[in-house]
Homo-oligomer: A and B are copies of this chain.
């Protein structure tokens, strides 16, 4: 009976990017002709908040941090693993500048798609447009959840959320090597790195996780989930 909604602070949307399936073979080819693939190494900036938009990007592989900052502090909007679009909001003609920055957490491959071509295809192919709208909508929902998480949950819950997100959606296994530093993890869960460190230790001591340096294993999924839900 109890209707307890839950919002995960999960940083990625779980809606798969299917928009390219909607293109005809010809359109696919046209798009490919106006695309180019680039590699970024760890820490490299992929696009900069405020800079002119020229491309919509597709993350082929890797892991990308999408964030905004005001010169003093940083808010991570989401992280994008391979198989997802990046900078989709830029298809908007009103927004000729990027509203956020993107940076590679690890080695990352990006397919840059000419934004004009992308726009053309939207106007021409209604099914493609529809799928783009699906993705934009899913992005909104993801942001809402993360927004709720960062504003209304306490630190333990936020950290639990991020760990579950990494395990469930990014690496898709219970044991993995953390590609993020404690500081990056802190930024991601909206707290200080000292707090992250203390809380990770606590989780480790209570055997919710098994942590050894960068190696992390989710041991007690259920309790972690409960912490994520209760705060």
Please report A residues at the B interface, Cβ cutoff 8 Å: 2-7, 15, 49-50, 68-71, 73, 75, 77, 88-95, 99-100, 119, 122-127, 129-130, 132-134, 136-141, 143-144, 146-148, 150-152, 190
Residues of B within 8 A of A94 (CB): 15, 134, 137-138
B contact residues around A138 at 8 Å (CB): 92, 94-95
- Say whether B137 contacts A129, CB under 8 Å: no
Q: Is B140 a contact partner of A136 (Cβ separation < 8 A)? A: yes
- Option from B123, B124, B140 in Cβ contact (under 8 Å) with A143: B140
Candidate in A5, A7, A73, A90 with the most chain B CB atoms within 10 angstroms: A5
Q: How far is the CA of A3 from the CA of B95 in the complex (A)?
A: 19
Is B134 a contact partner of A71 (Cβ separation < 8 A)?
no
Smallest CB–CB gap between A187 and chain B, Å? 11
Q: How far is the CB of A100 from chain B (nearest CB, A)?
A: 7
A76 to nearest B CB, angstroms? 10
Task: Please report the C-alpha to C-alpha distance between residue A126 and residue B123 in the assembled complex, in whole angstroms.
Answer: 4
Known contacts A123-B127, A130-B122; is A144 also within 8 Å of B99 by CB? yes
Which residues of B have CB within 8 Å of A75?
Answer: 144, 147-148, 151-152
- In the complex, are the beta carbons of A68 and B148 less than 8 A apart? yes
**B77 close to A147 (CB less than 8 A):** yes
What B residues does A6 contact at CB under 8 A?
70
Name A119's closest neighbour in chain B (CB-CB).
B130
Which chain B residue has the least Cβ–Cβ distance from A94? B134
Q: How far is the CB of A71 from chain B (nearest CB, A)?
A: 5
Residues of B within 8 A of A133 (CB): 91-92, 122, 129, 132-133, 136
- A46: min CB distance to chain B, Å: 17
